[in-house]
């Protein structure tokens, strides 16, 4: 029921945002993050690379600390094909509802205050995962950190492509490639591993979202995203206000 309420709320807030942009003569399509440009593919790819690097870091740290053990490396490429569509669909669905609609609407309702909007949307994002297998309020907090990452990427980058790349890569690298559970769900993996350390460290059967190592790397990803946005705007950005003037994604009022 909570999930349904949040989806309805996201749609309502998306309508509020669309009306706001229309009244101010701005592009509704661009407002929702759908700018189609060569840079869109670059941002999508960079998002995927950032989370792949972070997930390899999580795997390496947990392995070195004895939190996980490599059982085998079957390198079954069929597992990638089997899970590719469902993880793409999941990332697209959640980014559309939680960033394009919910977060955009919250920014409008809160008078342009981006950080409060991100924190609220991230809390909702964490709570909608509370019914996942093995979920707890600790795992919900870990998922909420992910919501903060995607919110920073969406509002700072002014596009859906960067958070979509981050979101998809976090899940795909985590499960089908490295063999971690993904928010409590098993997607197999090119590497078969098992937890040998504490759940507090690794997240246990829920996955890195619920473990200290995974949560720590969430902050590493935030720093990487902000550094990339600074690069994209030539160092003229402001992390405090999440203003990164990237010309291709600008959405000024039409004259």
What does the pLDDT look like over 81-93, one tens digit per residue?
889 999 999 999 9
Three-state SS sequence of the chain: CHHHHHHHHHHHHHHHHHHHHHHCCCCHHHHCCCCCCHHHHHHHHHHHHHHHHHHHHHHHHHHHCCCEEEEECCCCCHHHHHHHHHHHHHHHHHHHHHHHHHHHHHHHHCCCCHHHHHHHHHHHHHHCCCCCCCCCHHHHHHHHHHHHHHHHHHHHHCCCHHHHHHHHHHHHHHHHHCCCCECCECCCCCCEEEECCCHHHHCHHHCHHHCHHHHHHHHHHHHHHHHHHHHHCCCCCECCCCECCCHHHCCCCCC
Q: What number is the average pLDDT over the span 17-21?
A: 97
Domain segments of the chain as ranges: 2-17+41-249
**pLDDT tens column, 171-183:** 999 999 999 999 9
CA distance 210 to 63: 16
Q: What is the pLDDT of residue 6?
A: 85
**pLDDT tens column, 92-137:** 999 999 999 999 999 999 999 999 999 999 999 999 999 999 999 9
Mean pLDDT of the chain: 95
CA distance 95 to 81: 22
Q: What is the pLDDT of residue 255?
A: 65
């Amino acid at each position: 029921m909570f999930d349904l309420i949040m989806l309805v709320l996201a749609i309502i807030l998306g309508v509020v945002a669309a009306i706001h942009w229309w009244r101010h003569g701005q592009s509704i399509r661009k407002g929702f993050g759908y700018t189609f440009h060569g840079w869109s593919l670059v941002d999508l790819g960079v998002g995927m690379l950032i989370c792949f690097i972070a997930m390899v870091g999580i795997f390496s740290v947990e392995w070195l600390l004895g939190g996980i053990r490599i059982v085998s490396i079957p390198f079954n490429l069929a597992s990638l094909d089997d899970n590719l569509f469902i993880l793409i669909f999941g990332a697209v669905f959640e980014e559309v509802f939680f960033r394009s609609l919910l977060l955009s609407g919250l920014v409008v309702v809160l008078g342009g205050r981006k950080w409060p909007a991100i924190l609220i949307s991230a809390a909702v994002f964490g709570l909608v995962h509370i019914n996942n297998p093995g979920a707890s309020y600790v795992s919900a907090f870990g998922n909420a950190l992910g919501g903060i990452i995607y919110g920073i990427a969406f509002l700072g980058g002014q596009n859906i492509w960067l958070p979509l790349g981050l979101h998809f890569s976090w899940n795909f690298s985590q499960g089908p490639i490295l063999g971690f559970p993904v928010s409590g769900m098993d997607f197999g993996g090119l590497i078969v591993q098992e937890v040998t350390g504490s759940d507090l460290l690794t997240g246990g059967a829920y996955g890195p979202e619920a473990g200290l190592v995974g949560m720590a790397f969430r902050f590493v990803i935030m720093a990487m995203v902000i550094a990339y946005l600074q690069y994209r705007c030539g160092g003229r950005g402001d992390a405090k206000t999440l203003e990164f003037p990237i010309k291709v994604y600008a959405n000024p009022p039409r004259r």
